Each structure stands twice: as structure tokens, then as C-alpha cells.
A and B are shown apart, each in its own frame.
Chain A
Amino acid sequence: MLRAIRHKSIHPAFCAFRAFSSAAKEMTVRDALNSALDEEMSADPKVFLMGEEVGEYQGAYKITKGLLDKYGPERVLDTPITEAGFAGIGVGAAYYGLRPVVEFMTFNFSMQAIDHIINSAAKSYYMSAGQISVPIVFRGPNGAAAGVGAQHSQCYAAWFAACPGLKVLTPYSSEDARGLLKAAIRDPDPVVFLENELLYGELFPVSAEVLDSSFCLPIGKAKIEREGKDVTITAYSKMVGYALKAADILAKEGISAEVINLRSIRPLDRSTINASVRKTNRLVTVEESFPQHGVGAEICTSVVEESFGYLDAPVERIAGADVPMPYAANLERMAVPQVEDIVRAAKRTCHRSVPLAATA
């Protein structure tokens, strides 16, 4: 029996519920993010939203729909098109003790503001020896959409995750979106929250626990989306869905893949990753972004450093192509990982025969 949703601030109009009598409800990632923002704004008057079109337009991707009406223009601020300006304003407000949630229409535009993210936000607690904390969240869509070209398709996870002082989260499902965004807003440090435009409309089942307003996911913990024993596949954001599809295909060929949804790029859950590789002995890392100096490179190094003896095959790395994102549809498809790339790489790690049960 489901617990009733007690929190009054969830406006039913925003939640794409299908109320089955006792089965799990479903929710789009968009509604998950909207409800998380709503609940956190309701719980803490210091939380406010800032960004282009977040208010009157209801959000460029409708993530902030209804929030201006509910919380007013003092707490939901439409900004002019100047990322450097409003990111700086957000960080300044955070210095003073407010808890801003700054939206970038896409993270491609965060490059206009990256000085404030890195130099003004990430490093301040350290430089001030603990006086100035920066409880800010920078959120927005990251990575490739469809046909938007080179300047609108980059994934920034690796760049931000390289910087100490920042936390970097990458939700996949609606449960991730709710739990991680709430955690990010409650966290006292600057968090870069990387969503994905193509996931906004996807429906995921959500339990009553997830729907509760106190729900929160821990930062720095990955989730094993699918257990397996032959090869570990790590992924984040949209690529988790691809990895799961690849796992289905591999299962038909007798290869049992364990899919890890990283959820948190910084801090990276090295212990879950290494424990998994020690179990499976094989690793494929998957990411959408450029390969060089990427998330997969860091994961590979972590495994080589901590679990080298457990590897039965070289680590395989699937990533975006090492070129600016082309516009033409056929080239774009080649520039982004596809399910078959993941399947192929996983099979390569199993080039020796799949271990017999006796070796377990």
C-alpha cells in the first residue's frame, strides 16, 4: 500500500502521475526536477532560482514551470542574457548565505561564466580557510541534443569534475533527478548539476519513498542499475540507458553485464567501481563527451591503480568522437556513442571465453 503524498507543495498539475492502484507511479524527469525545486523552495526560504526564462516563460525546457506563480518574482528571477553576470551574482549571494539555484539554458553557455564557477565558487572555501562557503547549485542540460551543432552539444562533466571544491552530479532517472537535486540544494558546497535535454520527457517508475519530500540521495554514491558478473559497464546520464540496452543484447549472447550508474562524477564512487571490477574482471567505460582526459580516463586509472591484478582484459573506453559535433545527421550519429559500440567493446573484453562457473 502506498503512503499518501503528504507534502502540500506538490501541485498535482505538475506531476505526470499515472495512479495505478498499487503499482509504482511514473514520473518524467522534468516533473521530478520541478517537484524537487518546489519542495526545496518551500522548505527553505533562502533557496531562490535564477536564470534565463525561468520565470515568465515557465522555463526554457519547462523545468521551472509554475514556480514564479507560486513563489513570486523575489525568489524566481528572470535574468538578462548574460551568464557571466548572473552566475557572478549567484555566487555573491551564496557568499552572503543565500542558496541560489542558477540555471544555464545549456551548459555550453556556462563557459561564459566558468570563471565564476571555478574561481569564485569552487575555490573560495579553501582560500578563505573556511570562512566563505558557497552553497550554490548550477544546473541545466548538458551534452548532445539532436542536430544542434558544435557549439550546443558538448558534455562538460570532465572539465568541472577536474576541479577540487566542486561537486558534480549527473542524474539519469527521475529518482536520480529528485534525489540528487534535493541533495545538491541542501549541500553546503557548490554543485554542478548536469541534466540532459533528451531525458527530460522520459518516464521512470518512482516509489512512494522517492516521492516523499524528505527523499534525498547521497552524493558520491553510484548505483548498480543492473547486476552482472562478466563485465562492468560504467555510464552516466543518458548513456546509462544505452548501457542497459547493451546489457540486454549482451545477455542474449551469454554475457552478463553489470551496469553502474555513476550518479556522481565528483566525488567519484571509486569503491563501488573497483568492487564491481574485482567481481567481473572486465571494464567498459561509457561517456558522451570527448575522450581525452575524460571521465572514462579517470575511471580506468582508478581501476589500474587499485585493482590492476583483477583485470582480465584491457579497459575499454567508449566516448564521443574526438571531433566538434557535426550537424549532418549521419555524421552526428557517428560522433555519439551508440548501443552497438558498447556491445562491441564489452565483447572485446571477453575475448577470452567467458569464465566458467568453476572459477568463481
Chain B
Amino acid sequence: MALSRSGSKLLKPISPFFSSAPSILTRSISSSNDSITVETSIPFTAHNCEPPSRSVTTSAAELLSFFRDMALMRRMEIAADSLYKAKLIRGFCHLYDGQEAVAVGMEAAITRKDCIITAYRDHCTFLSRGGTLIEVFAELMGRRAGMSNGKGGSMHFYRKQGGFYGGHGIVGAQVPLGCGLAFAQKYSKDENVTFAMYGDDGMGTAEWRAAKSPAYYKRGDYVPGLKVDGMDAFAVKQACKFAKEHALKNGPIILEMDTYRYHGHSMSDPGSTYRTRDEISGVRQERDPIERIRKLLLSHEISTEAELKDIEKAARKEVDNAIAKAKESEMPDPSELFTNVYVKGFGVEAYGADRKELRATLP
């Protein structure tokens, strides 16, 4: 279905990207909302259920927002890599570049009343749940403006008001926690679901060391499952929509997102001891999630190459601005050492390393 090219008018104002608006990740960027149908890259493979259709309804607006959001996430993660090497980020840093389609596609299929919980590779998920770049970079650098006031670090991002429950450092711990969230939703009779995300027991390790059976979507055995091309944001969106409907009616379902991270497991893993560089560049060539959307935008004549490059440039600028702002944020006040230990502290005392030198009362 041909679309009239209203592209140039709608893409000219780049200023929204620089605003102090909480998030660039709004789906209301103006454009034609006529529906477009796209096909997922491959059909879904199903276990114990009927797979959804390969045809996904979208719109120019959604295509553009996918592109923008993923470009922002990509730039954010690459910037984090540099900050880590510059020693502005300490400890652990697990990057998500390559996997953006999962965060973006999932968000498009659900609401903020649905919950997401994940492990430590959480920067982009936080963003998709309504977090801001400044909160991300400030937290990574251990500053006050971080979403956890600098006290959590890379692995401990949260946004409860956005339905994002972290951000967990212990591999696999988030899975039973996610079940708990879902249980609470059912118990409270909310018509919402929880997405508990976990990797293929990811470490800087090879799949054959980490897991016995790599057909993950069948893992649950009698739990139905779907194998999804995780590099295709529309496949992700369709699968998550399907999964939500299924879960509300029939219970848990496993989605195996066949995705790919370009970086190693963490900044201390080169990511080359268990895969070849050719494999990585091959995926970048054939399956990159942002490139897929770019091609769709171009083939549907929603945008020109130049306009898309502008969006990417704007994303880069927004990331740079956020980093600059985050660097200005101060380190947490020393009194923060003792805040948020308890909701209700009963006035007990807590101590620093030298209990006679530093103590505080927990309210």
C-alpha cells in the first residue's frame, strides 16, 4: 500500500530530541497512522500452541518510532562502552547492542501495567519502560541523578512506576521473581502479565557449556513455547502480543527470542573466545535490527536515507548531551550511605566502618 510522502515535513523539527522531555521514547511522533502490513523475517516455530501469523500490522509512525528508539539504544550502549574504558563506569557493565529489537518490540505489544523483569543487561529495557538517558548515565557513573541515586550501578536499574522491576545480578534469580510478579497480578485480578527475561544462562561462555538443551522454547515441556526471530522487532511485537493474550487465558508461555549481542558478555569479556569475528560481522550484515527497520522505512518510502541519517545523528547528540549532564551530577551525599536500608527502621542505629566515628539512625 503506497503512502504519500509526508516525510520531509514531519522529520524536520529535530528539536524534540534535545528537549528536557522525560523520554524520547514516545509513540506519538506525528505521522500518518495508516496501517501498513509487514511480514516477519521467518514464520514462528511453535511448541504446544498455534503460532501467530507472520503478518504484523504497523504504521509509519510506529516504524519511525522503532527506528528512533533503537538508534538511541544503540548509541547509548556504545557510549557506555567508551565511558567504561575511560573508567567513568566501574564494576560490571553488560551491554545490549544488537538486542534492541527485543526491548522495543516487547514494549510495543504491552502496557506499562504489564511488568518486565530482567537480569543485569538492563540498560535498554529501563529506557523502553520510560527511563531517561540522564538517569542511565548518571547511575552508571555513580551519581545522584541516577535512577537508583548512584547506589545500584549498571546491574540495578529499576522503574517501578513503569512496571520495570530490575535489574538483577544473580543469574537466573529474576525468573522466580518474575513468577512472583505474575502471581501477584493474578491474585490481584489485574488483567496484566509479567515478562520475565533471561539469557541462555549467559556468561562469557559458549552455549554448549552453559546449557544442556538449547531448544529453549521447548524447555518448559508442557508449557507452550514460541521461537521468535529476536532481531525482527515486528516478530517480537507479534509474539509478545500473542503471549500476553495466551498468558491471560491459559497461563505461562515461553518465548525464545533468537537475538544476538555484539559485545561480549560484559566489558571484561572480549566476546571472541567462543565465536569468530566473522560470525559477529555476519550477523551485523544480515540481521541487524536497526537495518531491518531502515530497509522497511526506505522501501515503504516513509523516509529518505538522509532523513534516517539525521535521526541517527540526533540520537547521537541526545546521548552526548545526556552524558554531559550526567557528568555534572554530583556524587551522592555521604548521608545516602544510610538511606533506604528499611522502609521502617524503628530508629535503630547503623554504623560505618568505625562504629564510633560514623553512625546514623535509621528512621
| B contact residues around A338 at 8 Å (CB) | 353
Q: Contact between A331 and B91 (Cβ–Cβ < 8 Å)?
A: no
Stretch at the interface among A157-165, A202-210, A340-348: A340-348
B10 part of interface (Cβ distance < 8 Å):
no
Nearest-CB distance from B207 to chain A (Å)? 10
**Do A151 and B155 contact each other (CB < 8 Å), given the known contacts A317-B355, A328-B142, A328-B332?**
yes
- Complex CA–CA separation, A81 to B355 (angstroms): 38
Contact with B along A325-350 (1 / 0, CB 8 A): 01111110011111001001100100
B170 is an interface residue with CB less than 8 A from chain A: yes
Q: Which residues of B contact A323 (CB under 8 A)?
A: 337-338, 341, 350
Select B353's contact among A151, A329, A337, beta carbons within 8 Å. Answer: A337
- B334 within 8 Å of A by Cβ? yes
Q: Is the CB of A322 within 8 A of B351?
A: yes
Interface residue? B356 (CB, 8 A): yes
Partner of A331, one of B151, B201, B273: B151
Does B171 lie at the interface of the complex (its beta carbon under 8 Å from any beta carbon of A)?
yes
Q: Contact: A57 with B169, CB < 8 Å?
A: no
Q: Report the bound CA distance from A81 to B205 in whole Å.
A: 10
Say whether B352 contacts A334, CB under 8 Å. Answer: yes
Closest to A342 in B: B354
Interchain CB contact under 8 A, B273 and A335 = no
Q: How far is the CA of A334 from the CA of B153 in the complex (A)?
A: 16
**A78 on interface, CB distance cutoff 8 Å:** yes
Question: Given known contacts A320-B353, A341-B353, is B172 in contact with A331 (CB within 8 Å)?
Answer: no
Chain B nearest CB, measured from A108 CB (Å): 7
Most buried by A among B155, B206, B331, B337: B337
Q: B212: CB under 8 A from chain A? A: yes
**Chain A interface residues (CB < 8 Å from chain B):** 52-53, 56-57, 78, 80-82, 108-109, 112, 145-152, 291, 316-324, 326-331, 334-338, 341, 344-345, 348
Q: Which 3 A-B pairs have the closest CB atoms?
A: A147-B90, A147-B91, A327-B153
Listed A/B pairs (18) with beta-carbon separation below 8 Å: A52-B205, A57-B205, A80-B212, A145-B91, A147-B91, A149-B92, A151-B169, A317-B355, A318-B354, A321-B351, A326-B332, A327-B139, A327-B150, A327-B151, A327-B153, A334-B334, A334-B337, A345-B354
